[in-house]
Amino acid sequence: MRTLKSYLQDHWVEGKTPGATLHDAATGQAIATASTDGLDLRAALAHAREVGGRSLRAMTYAQRGAMLKEMSRVVHENRDELIELARQNSGNTRSDAKFDVDGCSGTLAWYGGLGARLGDKTILLDGNAEKTGRGPRFVGQHVFSPRRGVAIHINAFNFPAWGLGEKGATALLAGMPILCKPATATAVVTVRIVELWVAAGVIPAGAVSLLTGSAGNLLDHVGPQDVIAFTGSGHTGQVIRSHPRVVEFNVPVNVEADSLNASVVGPDVEAGSETFQMFVGDVALDLTQKAGQKCTAVRRILVPEALAEAVREALSERLAAAPIGDPDARETRVGPLATASQKRDVELGIAKLAGTALRIYGDPAAVPAQGYYVAPQLFLDTGGAHAPFVHDHEIFGPVATVLLYSGSAEDAVAIVARGGGGLVCSVYSDDKAWGGDVVLGVAPWHGRVVWGSKKIHDQSFGPGTVLPGFVHGGPGKAGGGEELGGERGLRFYSQRTAIQGDRALLEKVLGQLSGLET
Ligand code: NAP
């Protein structure tokens, strides 16, 4: 069995004990072990801060962008191997694995392009300069400069490639070295990508570290210039945020956690219309892609009562056309969940949901005997905002609940808000007034809102797809974090400082200042 290694202080190292065992999600067979036992994490962070930080800060945004393009190229050139590893370790179908692997290379390339646009600078100006004194010479300018610590990236099991790439792209472009800690259970793809980067010589010394296995005492060594970006359960997010060292040094923590994403169909939408088809396609994709293990997948489907039967029929038809089974088989659309414990959690969640809601599609028993399979299922709850379970608990699998509502924009917003904050909400309507009320009504509860309508019905990737140019994150239950969003994503890794002084001196180090003309 393979022993997965960590990459610390520019060397491949392994823990002293066998540690955790990783499995093939489709068969349950053990495939690798990973341990961080005995690794010197204090020294690893110090090396990344000193050597990696220095390497990256010596580069301009354009040079860091060129590095990201190379990192993207390496991932893309080895796509087939990575897709095969994702099938073995995470139970991904080919299409699910492509979504993850291409998401990684695509996001790296996108930020590579941003680096080229930002050009030959090493800090970024924020807004215009302003006069701070009575005369014209004493002025102030806000700047962003790279923090001098390590960007610690603690990732979830569901996107071992994209998680590495999306967090890594923003931090590295901002000029911070990264230490990525993938979820242990699905670390194979992440480890392979870092191996490929190291072998290709595309990362400067100290810029990328990898911790494969338990986080161990990593957080005991964080310092005041480090940052932590975390994706996973709300509970772990809280544990990380409240770690004494994180609290003592006010280490910024970005959290992407549980999210009860909603999809709302407007009362103007007719069954069979283009907008209706768009809605049905988006929801069916979210239920089947990655077996529903996407942080952005829809969990609550708000439907006016008059449309309920048409929605049930259309979704049932789509789900019936998505066979579950061996991720290696061409016809398979739904693979297994990633781990035995995820299957257990999802089945527990379904049992609780079934106690209060009616199953309207899916046969829980219709799954292969081996592996971590859960059949796609659809529930109906007539409790609206008062439904007891569906607004509070994220079932991280191929499961969603239809909720009936009156059709009023106000009701829709109130029910969506019961989720307590989400990553994304999708709204389907061609009615400007109704759609506008709902989109703006749910906006404060989300990091992203997708308004689906007739004219764009065939142009969307679906609300579940996170794009590098738009923010990913959400308030409240979704963790309160924000990643990506183009240049916005660099801010978490940069310190904003107002520099005040003589305009002539400031311009010597910052370049020409604008906003002082009047
Ligand atoms: P998790 O237990 O929170 O693990 C997420 C990451 O945190 C993993 O890398 C894990 O490492 C690490 N971790 C766990 N305890 C830690 C600690 N004390 N200090 C530092 N790092 C720690 O989440 P999960 O098991 O992957 O998923 C559980 C649930 O989270 C899912 O069912 C789903 O509800 C939710 N989830 C949400 C999202 C999202 O983006 N919204 C994504 C995935 C999952 P190890 O793997 O080594 O334990």
Task: For residue 295, indicate whether it is catalytic.
Answer: yes
Q: Is the pLDDT of residue 160 over 80?
A: yes
**Is the model's pLDDT at 518 over the cut of 70?**
no
Going by alpha carbons, the residue nearest to atom 8 of ligand 1 is: 183
Question: Sorting pLDDT into bands at 50, 70 and 90, what band is 131?
Answer: very high
Instruction: Say whether pLDDT at 33 is over 80.
Output: yes
Distance between CA 120 and CA 338 in Å, rounded? Answer: 43
Identify the pLDDT of residue 231.
Answer: 97
pLDDT in tens, 273-295: 999 999 999 999 999 999 999 99
Q: How far is the CA of 459 from the centre of ligand 1 (A)?
A: 33
Average pLDDT estimate for 339-362 = 95
Average pLDDT, the chain: 96
Mean pLDDT of 111-125: 96
**245 compared with 517, residue with greater pLDDT:** 245
Per 3-state DSSP, what percentage of the chain is helix, strand, and coil (rounded to 5)?
A: 40, 20, 35
CA 356 to CA 210: how far, in whole Å? 44
Closest ligand 1 atom to Cα of 258: 41
The sign of the CA dihedral 114, 116, 122, 126 is negative
CATH number, domain 262-471: 3.40.309.10
Residue 130's SS3 state is strand
Nearest atom of ligand 1 to the alpha carbon of 155: 9
Nearest to 303 by CA among 294, 292, 295, 311: 311
Give yes or no for a contact between 279 and 263, defined as CB atoms under 8 angstroms apart: yes
Give the model's pLDDT for residue 460: 84
> Each residue of 243-282: b (16+ CB within 10 Å) or e?
beebeeeebebbbbbbbbbbbbbbbbbeeeebbbbbbbbb
Distance 388 CA to ligand 1 centre (A): 25
Q: Which one of 295, 394, 482, 483 is the catalytic residue?
A: 295
Neighbour count for residue 467 (Cβ, 10 Å): 16
Given CA atoms 15, 19, 25, 28 in this order, what sign does their dihedral have? positive
What is the model's pLDDT at position 156? 97
CB-based contacts of 41, cutoff 8 Å, min separation 6: 8, 211, 216, 217, 218, 220, 221
Catalytic one among 256, 394, 482, 483? 256
For the chain, the structural domain boundaries read 2-257+481-510, 262-471
Arithmetic mean of pLDDT, 405-414: 97
Mention every residue, 6+ apart, whose C-beta is less than 8 A from residue 11.
none
- The contacts of residue 408 (CB under 8 Å, 6+ apart) are none
Q: Residue 247: in which H helix or E strand, if any?
A: helix 244-248
Which pLDDT belongs to residue 169? Answer: 98
Report the predicted TM-score, pTM, of the whole model to 2 decimal places: 0.95
pLDDT single digits (tens) 474-502: 999 999 999 999 999 999 999 999 999 99
Domain 2-257+481-510 CATH superfamily: Aldehyde Dehydrogenase; Chain A, domain 1 (3.40.605.10)
Compute the distance between CA of residue 499 and CA of residue 140 in angstroms, rounded to an integer: 5
By C-alpha distance, which of 231, 290, 246 is closest to 97?
A: 290
Distance of CA 18 to the CA centre of its chain: 29
Q: What is the pLDDT of residue 103?
A: 97
Which residue has the CA at smallest separation from atom 37 of ligand 1?
232
496: closest CA among 21, 54, 145? 145
Q: What is the pLDDT of residue 246?
A: 98
Q: How distant, in Å, are the alpha carbons of 79, 84, 208 from that of 225?
A: 35, 38, 17
Q: What is the pLDDT of residue 155?
A: 98
- Percent share of the chain, pLDDT over 90: 95
The predicted-structure confidence for 74-83, as pLDDT tens digits, reads as follows 999 999 999 9
Query: What is the rounded distance in angstroms from the CA atom of residue 311 to the CA atom of residue 279?
Result: 9
Residues with CB under 6 Å of ligand 1 are 154-158, 181, 183-185, 214-215, 231-233, 236, 239-240, 256-259, 295, 345, 394, 396
C-alpha 234 to ligand 1 mean position (Å): 8
Give, for 99, the enclosing helix (H) or strand (E). helix 94-118
Instruction: Report the nearest-CA residue for atom 10 of ligand 1.
Output: 183
**Most ligand 1 atoms within 8 A of CB, residue of 33, 154, 188 to mutate:** 154
Over the stretch 205-243, which tens digit does the pLDDT of each residue have? 999 999 999 999 999 999 999 999 999 999 999 999 999
How high is the pLDDT of residue 504?
95
